Amino acid sequence: MRSATEFQGNEAAKRTTRRTQKLSAKISGPTRTASGKTPEIRALESAKHFALVGQATNDAVRDWNLRTGALAWPQGLDTLLGYERSTISEDIAFWQKQVHPQDRARTARSIRDALASDVTHWNGEYRFRRHDGSYLDLLERAVIVRDSTGAAIRFVGSLMDVTARKQLQDQLVRSQKMEAFGQLAGGVAHDFNNFLTTILGYSDLLLDELGIEGEAADHIAEIRNAASRASFLTAQLLAFSRQHPLAPRVIEVNSFLANLERSLLRLLGENIAVQCYLDRAPEGMHTKVDAGQLTQIILNLVVNARDAMRNGGCLILETVSITIDSPEESESHSEKLRPGDYVRISVKDNGVGMTDDVKQHLFEPFFTTKTDGGGSGLGLATSYGIVHQSGGDICVESKLGKGTTVRIFLPKVAPPPPLGHKRTGKNKMPTGNERILVLEDDVSVRHLSVRFLRSLGYDVIEAANGDDAQRLINKRVDKKVDLLLTDLIMPQMSGRRFADWLRKMSPQTKVVFISGYLEESLHPGDRRGRDTFFLPKPFDPEQLATKIRQALDSKSGSR
């Protein structure tokens, strides 16, 4: 056993050792880790690193205590979301209130299901309201911290702004939807144009060949008028799908709008004034466009403006000549315009305007804001197709309660040469005695064309497809064909490929292609080549006779 004196000596030695260690700590500084850095320094560096990461990503971070409901924002609350810390409540209710009402239930349910399971991560997209009232599309990726029992105790999420990506995705979806509808519309319209060609053609034959008069003639005329109106509908479908065989010509824009003014006044009514601000340059402002289709575009825009000004207002038509030197200078919002000179037509109203959501869907087929069934939803979609097909663009600017401005951009062209003296004569269809091969798979259109051309004196042979036509030509001793009248779209062999084959047998053969499709929508190998002519469907006998004679009398070139 140790004596009391020995025990007291040992205790004194321990106290001396502890005093020495404390003194050493004061001299040498705080306790250091294996890396040589104190915990305080490491914590400070970690915070700085965290801040640098935040600056690099521009993300916001929320830290949600699931037990207390407290919500902290380590970063991004002000820089990304625009809120000051002193102005918000530090609980989960703040986050819940800012989530878009349409996304709130879905997002809360998804997070609730994740917390109730055993997963450790969650991600989702939702719209979140910034301090200025606008909404951001956010992608949140979160880690779920759990205790030893597996219960979720903490939810830490990183909020990334994906608004730009979301807009691009929406544009792609809309573009794909419009393209799919355009293909469907183009196919239906092409087939329908065959029916209309038959109706128009046989109506004219009845009136001309049989000389029907009186009430029967009136009935036939009504049938023909209905077919003409139906052809306008198919033209709208093809224009939307950019497959409409337009008949563009050079027009002077200011004169064109001035001639429309009286029609516009009838459409608008007495409580809406019309003001025109036309850029009247000495040489005028010319563009090459289908005048009938441009008329329809302007009338559609005017009707929309009228409906937005139910209590009256002012409609402004404005024209100006602009030059775009680079794609960055384009004023268009849907697609970039190529550098060049353009005529810009603006239609402005001071009506109710529209929301951003409505503007995003404005050019989609069948989208309409008219709830009374008065709108088909094809007007602006059709206008979009026509303008782009003409090499231009169309864009819309609008604010709720402040009116709408629609701008149409069309390529500017040189004015046409002055018209020479045109000899007048009787309205008689041209005739001839040349040999014509009619190649058409639609039996009604083929029989109509053959019958009519024979009535004009032509030597006509016919075939339903390219293989039959080749056998027919090969059997003939005289393989000469003065003119080939063929549909561009044919089964087995396209009209263009048969025309190439025939010209090897008969190099002097002229070619007239007929189609309900726009030529540019076809495969490059199926389009018409040089020394060929084009006649869009539906056509009537007079148009057919004129085009046939024009092609036969030509020396070279195509029209």
Mean pLDDT within 475-479: 83
Rounded to whole angstroms, how far apart are CA atoms 4 and 58?
Answer: 71
Final residue in a domain of this structure, among 220, 240, 260: 240
Do 260 and 232 reside in the same domain of the chain? no
On whether residue 446 sits in a domain, the answer given is yes
Residue 103: inside a domain? yes
Cβ–Cβ < 8 Å for 245, 292: no
CB 396 within 8 A of CB 333: yes
Return d(Cα 548, Cα 430) in angstroms, integer. Answer: 9
The SS3 assignment for 422 reads coil
Query: 12-26, 386-400, 502-516: lowest mean pLDDT where?
Result: 12-26
Flag whether 232 is in a domain.
yes
Q: Is residue 39, in this structure, part of any structural domain at all? A: no
Same domain, 112 and 188: no
**18: in domain:** no
Tokens representing residue 416 in the block: 């046409």
**All residues at 6 or more sequence positions from 419 whose CB lies less than 8 Å from its CB, including other chains:** none
* pLDDT at res. 237: 62
Task: Supply the pLDDT for residue 369.
Answer: 59
Q: Is residue 452 assigned to a domain?
A: yes
Q: What is the pLDDT, as a whole number, of residue 188?
A: 73
pLDDT of residue 453: 93
Torsion of CA 292, 330, 339, 407, to 10 degrees: 10
Question: Given this model, what pLDDT does residue 334 score?
Answer: 43
Strands 313-324 and 135-146: unpaired
Give 140's strand partners: 124, 159
Say whether 264 sits in a helix, a strand or coil: helix
Residue 471: CATH number of its domain: 3.40.50.2300
Beta bridge partners of 250: 288
Model confidence at 375, in pLDDT bands (50, 70, 90)? very low
Query: Are residues 290 and 409 located together in one domain of the fold?
Result: yes
> What local confidence, expressed as pLDDT, does residue 174 receive?
67
Residue ending a domain, choose from 101, 130, 161: 161
CATH number of the domain bearing residue 394: 3.30.565.10
Tell me: do 226 and 259 sit in the same domain.
Answer: no
Same-domain status, 390 and 316:
yes
Domain shared by 136 and 279, yes or no: no
**∠ CA 195-201-204, rounded to 5°:** 140
- The secondary element (H helix, E strand) that includes residue 499 is helix 495-505
Angle among Cα 264, 266, 268 to the nearest 5 degrees reads 70
Mean local confidence (pLDDT), 504-526: 71
Tell which of 161, 186, 208 closes a domain.
161
pLDDT of residue 144: 94
- Structural domain containing residue 444: 435-553
Residues 6+ apart with CB under 8 A from 304: 379, 380, 404
Percent of the chain residues past pLDDT 70, beyond the cut: 73
Q: Would the pLDDT of 346 be above 60?
A: yes
| Among candidate residues 345, 380, 390, the one with its CA nearest the CA of residue 255 | 345
Is it the case that residue 308 has pLDDT exceeding 80? yes
Q: So what's the pLDDT on residue 522?
A: 46
The answer to whether position 184 is within a domain reads yes
Same domain, residue pair 118 and 219: no
Q: Which residue has the higher pLDDT, 282 or 472?
A: 472
The pTM for the full model equals 0.45
Other beta carbons within 10 angstroms of residue 8's beta carbon come to: 11
Residue 415 CA to residue 426 CA, distance in Å, equals 30
Q: Which tokens hold the place of 25?
A: 């700590």
Contacts 24+ apart (CB under 8 A), 277-282: 277/316, 277/317, 277/318, 277/319, 278/254, 278/317, 278/318, 278/319, 279/254, 279/319, 279/320, 279/321, 280/254, 281/321
Query: For residue 365, is it within any domain?
Result: yes
Question: What is d(CA 273, CA 261) in angstroms, rounded to the nearest whole number?
Answer: 11
Indicate the pLDDT class of residue 512, thresholds 50, 70 and 90. very high
**pLDDT on residue 270:** 75
pLDDT given at position 370: 54
pLDDT of residue 14: 53
**HEC sequence for 217-262:** HHHHHHHHHHHHHHHHHHHHHHHHCCCCCCCCEEEEHHHHHHHHHH
488 and 495 Cβ atoms separated by less than 8 Å:
yes
Euclidean distance between CA atoms 455 and 201, whole angstroms: 13
Q: Tell me, yes or no, whether 113 and 177 share the same domain.
A: no
The domain total for the chain is 4
Q: Could you tell me if 232 and 304 lie in one domain?
A: no
Comparing 405 with 28, the larger pLDDT belongs to 405
Torsion over CA of 152, 161, 178 and 102, rounded to 10 degrees? 50
* Tens-place pLDDT, residues 216-250: 888 888 888 788 777 766 765 665 555 555 567 88
Check whether residue 256 and residue 379 sit in a common domain: yes
pLDDT over threshold 70, residue 263: no
pLDDT-derived band at 537, boundaries 50, 70, 90: confident
Separation CA 44–CA 40 (nearest Å): 6
- For residues 312 and 394, membership in a common domain is answered with yes
pLDDT classification of 325: cutoffs 50, 70, 90 = confident
Whether 489 and 530 map to the same domain: the answer is yes
What whole-number percentage of the chain has pLDDT above 90?
32
3-state SS, residue 407:
strand
For residue range 80-133, list pLDDT tens digits in order. 999 999 999 999 999 999 999 999 999 999 999 999 999 999 999 999 999 999
List the one residue out of 441, 423, 446, 442 whose CA is nearest residue 544. Answer: 446
CATH code of residue 61: 3.30.450.20
Q: Is the peptide bond before 418 cis (omega within 30 degrees of 0)?
A: no
Quote the CA–CA distance of 408 and 387 in Å, as a whole number.
8
pLDDT at 273: 86
